[in-house]
Structure 1
Amino acid sequence: MIDIEKLRLDTPSCEKVLHFNNAGSSLMPAPVFDALQRVLRDENEVGGYEAERRAQDDIQAFYSEFAALLNAEPDEIAFVENATRAWDMAFYGLHLEPGDRVITHGSEYASNYLALLQQSRRLGFEIDLVPSDESGQIDVEALDDMIAPRTKLIAITHVPTQGGLVNPAAEVGKIARKHGVLYLLDACQSVGQIDLDVAEIGCDILSGTGRKFLRGPRGTGFLYVRKSTLEKIDPPFIDLLSAKWTGANSFEFAKGAKRFENWESYVAGRVGLMEAVRYARKVGLANIEARVTGLAQDLRAALSAIEGVSVHDLGRKKCGIVTFTKDGIAPKTIADSLRADRINVSVSPITCARLDLEPRNLEALTRASVHYFNTHDEVALFVDAVKEA
């Protein structure tokens, strides 16, 4: 059982504003803030190098904490500046050639799909879109049938930014293993709200952020790369941390996933993200997932009962992201109205999810994301505010 009162004490600004924008930028728990401040104070007092030296235990704990979170090995984890750059470090290092095929889905995040388009133009591979089933999630049977001899990669987003859909990541993993195809999973919106196990999912690569449901600092992210996949990726750029200069005309990559890191990094953020993972693990990811899912179900049901409000979340399984529209009112107008009532939400525009929203004739959605520190009373207050918006 989650002690909501304790968690709310760790999130003091909850008492001032209702936060329903955790998919955009979640509230930082007090222990994470304290960890950040500790490193920043050291940087102020003794300088960056000495501050980093003092933080070495926490820096090393970053790898073990993430390994425990994902059921991975510490040397399969890299610290990267954000989720998109983590995804890019893996994707842009793949050996794709003219005639190769990459499979993705209409729920793919804009930054990822733009990278696919750019590399397709550069390298000449083809992009295949797996269709959705009747629920809106990836059609796994269709995916199985689409795999061809030149299919080299399946790249999907676990939870899209524009809705509560949870794509069947583990089922996709079974298909990828069956055909021996690399599998890249964007877990930016799922890590921290869903209990993730890379062994169960079967992905070769997984990327994510620190600032969303993990409640870590902005400007932090991570990358998981399975050991057996490391040699299949040529990092798009390297430095004196990710590689060793072994001779005038030779070098070798760092061991493990550190080959995807930069020497210069946000040390305070890395320590803060480590503390955020540790905090989430103490709460328990299974506990978090159960509470977030339950609150979101209640919110969807209540919003659906409001005249003129439509909930637009797809999929058989849904998560803590809840998206909706209200007849005659633009999503940004709703967001501005709610913000005036001290309720924070986000807006998902078509430019973040064109392949998904355009076929549904949706220009934008209001996105209200719950987290475990939200309460049923807050959900009721939120619903009342939407009625009045």
Structure 2
Amino acid sequence: MSDTLADEIVHLRAATPGCARVIHFNHAGASLPSQATLDAITTQLLREATLGPMEAGVEGARLQEEARQWAARLLGTDSAAIAFTSSGSAAWGMAFNALGSWQPGDRILVGRHEWGGNLACMTQAVQSGARLEVIPCDENGAVSVPALERMIDSRVRLIALTWLPANGGLINPAQAIGAVARRHGIAYFIDAGQALGQMPCDVQALGCDVLKGAARKFLRGPRGTALLYVRPGFMAQLRPAQLDVLSAPWDGHAFTPRADARRFETSEVSLALLAGLANALKEAAELGIERIHRRIQRLSQTLRQALGQINGLELRDLGLPGQQSGLIAFTLEGWDAFALKQRLAESGINLGANGTAYTPLDMQARDLPAIARIAVSYLNTEEEIDTLLNALRALANEGHQTSTSTSSP
């Protein structure tokens, strides 16, 4: 197979029903699943309908473990370190709450780009007296590793990083931050929601204790599924707030929490969705994450350059040019981001729009009420990019005319 995936794109798109209906640039919100992923879901549902839901659980459980093996391969770890949850936010919240009680003076260090859902989860710790502190950014807008080093003391209990922020193309230095956390023995959580399925995610190299991400994004998995990695050596420090007969099975004398990551799972799950997830993970592994990453980088760099030539369009990405992710943030003169998204949707072009709540610390720091967001997948083509660019040029002209008429006496 070629490194660029170009030779396979026609086949991959033909195997993805949504590609025939829409031009999809909202992969950071949720991507388009393949027909094989849909078939895996419906096949398991049919088993449940014809054999009985509990009886069909035998095959469903096998597919769940198959998904666990593929997820472990994706993250470079053992399957015992993988749990499945209903969302990335649920995964992060369960791991955070399992850290135990917070005391006045405990410190949590976060990047300025931290996901709003994670910040919301930290609220109770702050109410208990913990201090939430923002790590300064470097000249490119990324989390500054030297600044982080200067903030470390004995009261720091957690370093939390959103690796690829939801509001643009920045790629934070997750591995370098992991080296700091390991050196000082501090718990390190990574939100990899926009990284999973887009770029390599080797948890050993990253040095994280916890990593999570929803599978519906670049992994093209079903909505309602997410991955949670917990470093085996860190597991004993976590006490989940909720347990059941799966996460804490009866050993004949007591209900004892599992020693593996399944202490964060529950006995009742959608085996149909996990069957679909198994297929999506398999497809990503067989294509090769490195190859996927190279294609996304090439397409997004080409698109960024062209967007920069559109009058009235301002790119809002942070990070080093040429070293950014497949998420492209912008604003367009004369257009509200959400109105722009709706207008393009009417033409069969999907993209995203983010308000302040998704990344509140960064959006407020940059005085951005909202951004429009293009998210590129390996499924996208040069022809789709041309169509998007032409649509944005037309809207830029329309927005300019509106602004001119509004400002006229």
TM-score range, shorter chain: over 0.9
- 2-structure distance, mates of 1:57, 1:351: 39
What's the counterpart of residue 64 of structure 2? 59
What's the counterpart of residue 161 of structure 1? 166
Mapping for residues 62-101 of structure 1, pairs under 5 Å: 62-95=67-100, 96-101=102-107
Mapping for residues 206-355 of structure 1, pairs under 5 Å: 206-246=211-251, 250-316=254-320, 317-355=323-361
What's the counterpart of residue 382 of structure 2? 376
SS of the residue aligned with 1:251? coil
The AA in structure 2 aligned to 1:88 is: G
- 2-structure distance, mates of 1:329, 1:81: 35
TM-score, normalised via structure 1 length: 0.97
- 2-structure distance, mates of 1:82, 1:355: 22
Mapping for residues 193-212 of structure 1, pairs under 5 Å: 193-212=198-217
Q: Is there any run of 5+ residues in structure 1 with no aligned partner, and where? A: none
The AA in structure 2 aligned to 1:276 is: A
- 2-structure distance, mates of 1:333, 1:102: 37
Residue 246 of structure 1, CA deviation: 4.2
Report whether the alignment pairs 1:362 with 2:368. yes
TM-score, normalised via structure 2 length: 0.93
Q: Is there any run of 5+ residues in structure 2 with no aligned partner, and where? A: 396-409
What's the counterpart of residue 406 of structure 2? none
Per-residue Cα deviation, 1:82-110 (whole angstroms, up to 9, x for no partner)? 10000011001103322211100110011
The AA in structure 2 aligned to 1:39 is: Q
Residue 118 of structure 1, CA deviation: 2.3
Which of 173, 176, 180 is the aligned partner of 1:171?
A: 176
- 2-structure distance, mates of 1:348, 1:4: 29
Residue 119 of structure 1, CA deviation: 2.0
Residue 367 of structure 1, CA deviation: 0.8
Report whether the alignment pairs 1:11 with 2:16. yes
Per-residue Cα deviation, 1:254-280 (whole angstroms, up to 9, x for no partner)? 130010001101111111111111100
Q: Is the 8 A contact 2:235 2:259 kept in 1?
A: no
Q: Is the 8 A contact 2:247 2:266 kept in 1?
A: yes
The AA in structure 1 aligned to 2:267 is: W
What's the counterpart of residue 400 of structure 2? none
- 2-structure distance, mates of 1:70, 1:62: 12
Residue 44 of structure 1, CA deviation: 1.6
Report whether the alignment pairs 1:144 with 2:149. yes
- 2-structure distance, mates of 1:217, 1:347: 21
Residue 333 of structure 1, CA deviation: 1.5
The AA in structure 1 aligned to 2:374 is: A
- 2-structure distance, mates of 1:61, 1:74: 10
What's the counterpart of residue 180 of structure 1? 185
- 2-structure distance, mates of 1:251, 1:13: 46
- 1-structure distance, mates of 2:382, 2:105: 53
Residue 388 of structure 1, CA deviation: 1.1
Residue 54 of structure 1, CA deviation: 2.2
Which of 114, 120, 124 is the aligned partner of 1:118?
A: 124
The AA in structure 2 aligned to 1:55 is: G
Instruction: Calculate percent identity across the aligned residue pairs.
Output: 37
Residue 200 of structure 1, CA deviation: 0.6
- 2-structure distance, mates of 1:258, 1:71: 18
The AA in structure 2 aligned to 1:170 is: Q
Aligned residue pairs total 387
